[in-house]
Structure 1
Amino acid sequence: MSERASDETETEAQAAPRRARLRIWRGDGATGGLADFTVDAHEGEVVLDLIHRVQATQAPDLAVRWNCKAGKCGSCSAEVNGRPRLLCMTRMSLFAPDEVLTVTPMRTFPVIRDLVTDVSFNYAKAREIPAFVPPPDLAPGEYRMSQEDVARSQEFRKCIECFLCQDVCHVVRDHEENKEAFAGPRFLMRAAELDMHPLDAAGERGLDRARGAQEEHGLGFCNITKCCTEVCPESIRITDNALIPLKERAADRKYDPLVWLGSRIRRRRRGD
């Protein structure tokens, strides 16, 4: 066989699809189970491609949430072989050719139907985090920050709110009763971002964000296992750069005697 013919044969072999086996959760919050499907998987495809092929050829009523298919909207969050992932960013090349892929909805949130879950818990928690407080002596357009402070906040603003960190956090994943008291890593990260923001004037209005995170949003429940960081598709260092520093600041403000004395003096002056 000539070298050219050998190259063409190799190219054809690479282009030929393989048969992929999927087990997909079908059902609602009350009943359901895993259903088996076999579909073609082409080179370079992601799990969401195969889910769409199942919809097109075998299960047109299969429910799956998705939007951008580019890893930026956070809509297609689910679990593949038990690991929280974005379906549109999970390449088939990650798995062995003969591996069965089990695709299930995010376990931490109630199932609406098939792979679609009710994530309204997260929006309720978002509303509980006090918003940025503008500095009283600066008008919009006059804000100035050092590049270091900008970069620190910018990391957290990469969040696409896929809620995979919320899903994997065992504080609520394994303990439904904690949901009322625990905001979860995504929103504790938001509190941390605002607490370290140099222009946030919350303190001038008597709002202690670190203490609020500890006493109102369940920061103490977090035991920094870094599982939230491991599943973040934007590679945000949630634990190291947000949660641990927030815990340190909360502890300082509660137990440091100088900080305690300063807060008492400020309160007395406001009372005067």
Structure 2
Amino acid sequence: MGHKAKFRVWRGEGGEGQLEDYTVEVNEGEVVLDVIHRLQATQAPDLAVRWNCKAGKCGSCSMEINGRPRLACMTRMSTFDPNETITVTPLRTFPVIKDLVTDVSFNYEKALQIPSFTPPSNVKPGEFRMQQVDVERSQEFRKCIECFLCQNVCHVIRDHEENKPAFAGPRFLMRIAELDMHPYDTLDRKNAAQEEFGLGYCNITKCCTEVCPEGIKITDNALIPLKERVVDRKYDPLVWLGSKIFKRSSS
């Protein structure tokens, strides 16, 4: 059964703006994105919002709903009290372009900095053979839809603009961890994770895991194991010695 919902939506450009109040019709079974589309159609035709698939798989409609980073297409109106005011704001960590649309180019710049999968030169396409356990280790991370909610909520980026040049954020440290787990990747990802992408800045608060719409255990399955491997490389004398011996024998 339908009802009228009170929405408070951030309107503005370039970081300057304010929250504006609207009352919008809500039908049974709808999500926040449905209501925003109705708001565009009936009251605010110039409201800017980014979206694409409306199925929780493209990551485009990331925003903050009642202060929590979420996907608008996966946030059901039935989870709210019909009498409460729903506040919708853009992702706080990234510069606002207009209304609910933010400039997330920071993330694509970080993605470009990560060296791609680098297999041995003597292994040709079609010759890769992996154990199922190796496939399963990194399969979870492939579910990432790059909504950048984890990047948005990470306080290292969110609260410290000065950290951005040296810190890739949880999404891309997870990518490095995934490649580091791959049995055919030949690059030294551990040193790069620490020295170039700021793994040491992460203090494993698990806030990135909490907001992931795909349920990826970013902290437990990617970041903590990567930290452990980096520490082993640097401080475990047997691991350190072994890396020197194998490096010498392969050169």
| Length-normalised TM-score, structure 2 | 0.97
Question: Paired residue for 1:61?
Answer: 46
Checking the alignment, whether the CA contact within 8 Å between 2:15 and 2:95 is kept in structure 1 is no
Gaps of 5+ in 2: none
The one-character-per-residue Cα deviations of 1:33-83 (angstroms, maximum 9, x if unpaired) are 001010111111000001001000000000000000000000000000110
Question: Paired residue for 2:156?
Answer: 171
CA–CA distance in structure 2, aligned partners of residues 154 and 266 of structure 1: 28
Question: Paired residue for 1:106?
Answer: 91
Answer with 226-235 or 27-36: which moved more: 27-36
The one-character-per-residue Cα deviations of 1:95-117 (angstroms, maximum 9, x if unpaired) are 11111110000000000000000
Question: Paired residue for 1:27?
Answer: 12
Question: Paired residue for 1:162?
Answer: 147
SS of residue matched to 1:191: helix
Question: Paired residue for 1:144?
Answer: 129
Residue pairs, 1:223-234, within 5 angstroms: 223-234=203-214
Q: Which of 235, 244, 247 in structure 2 is aligned with 1:255? A: 235
Checking the alignment, whether the CA contact within 8 Å between 1:211 and 1:254 is kept in structure 2 is no
Question: Paired residue for 1:133?
Answer: 118
Checking the alignment, whether the CA contact within 8 Å between 2:149 and 2:211 is kept in structure 1 is yes
Residue 264 of structure 1: how far off its partner (Å): 3.3
Q: Which of 212, 218, 221 in structure 1 is aligned with 2:198? A: 218
CA–CA distance in structure 2, aligned partners of residues 221 and 30 of structure 1: 27
Residue 211 of structure 1: how far off its partner (Å): 1.7
Checking the alignment, whether the CA contact within 8 Å between 2:12 and 2:18 is kept in structure 1 is yes
Question: Paired residue for 1:73?
Answer: 58
CA–CA distance in structure 1, aligned partners of residues 65 and 148 of structure 2: 15
The one-character-per-residue Cα deviations of 1:157-191 (angstroms, maximum 9, x if unpaired) are 00000000000001111111111110000000000
Equivalent pairs, count: 251
Q: Which of 215, 223, 226 in structure 2 is aligned with 1:243? A: 223
Question: Paired residue for 1:6?
Answer: none
Gaps of 5+ in 1: 1-14, 203-207
CA–CA distance in structure 2, aligned partners of residues 159 and 142 of structure 1: 27
Checking the alignment, whether the CA contact within 8 Å between 2:173 and 2:223 is kept in structure 1 is yes
Checking the alignment, whether the CA contact within 8 Å between 2:48 and 2:101 is kept in structure 1 is yes
CA–CA distance in structure 2, aligned partners of residues 94 and 218 of structure 1: 37
Residue 134 of structure 1: how far off its partner (Å): 1.5
Question: Paired residue for 1:264?
Answer: 244
Query: Quick one: which amino acid aligns to residue 88 of structure 1?
Result: C
Answer with 139-148 or 71-80: which moved more: 139-148
Higher-Rg structure is 1
SS of residue matched to 1:157: helix
CA–CA distance in structure 2, aligned partners of residues 267 and 142 of structure 1: 24
Checking the alignment, whether the CA contact within 8 Å between 2:166 and 2:196 is kept in structure 1 is yes
Answer with 183-192 or 91-100: which moved more: 91-100
Checking the alignment, whether the CA contact within 8 Å between 1:40 and 1:50 is kept in structure 2 is yes
CA–CA distance in structure 1, aligned partners of residues 235 and 250 of structure 2: 22
CA–CA distance in structure 1, aligned partners of residues 3 and 224 of structure 2: 45
Question: Paired residue for 1:195?
Answer: 180
CA–CA distance in structure 2, aligned partners of residues 82 and 183 of structure 1: 24
| Length-normalised TM-score, structure 1 | 0.89
Question: Paired residue for 1:209?
Answer: 189
CA–CA distance in structure 2, aligned partners of residues 266 and 227 of structure 1: 38
CA–CA distance in structure 1, aligned partners of residues 36 and 99 of structure 2: 12
Residue 31 of structure 1: how far off its partner (Å): 1.5
Query: Quick one: which amino acid aligns to residue 50 of structure 1?
Result: V
Checking the alignment, whether the CA contact within 8 Å between 2:95 and 2:103 is kept in structure 1 is yes
Query: Quick one: which amino acid aligns to residue 155 of structure 1?
Result: E
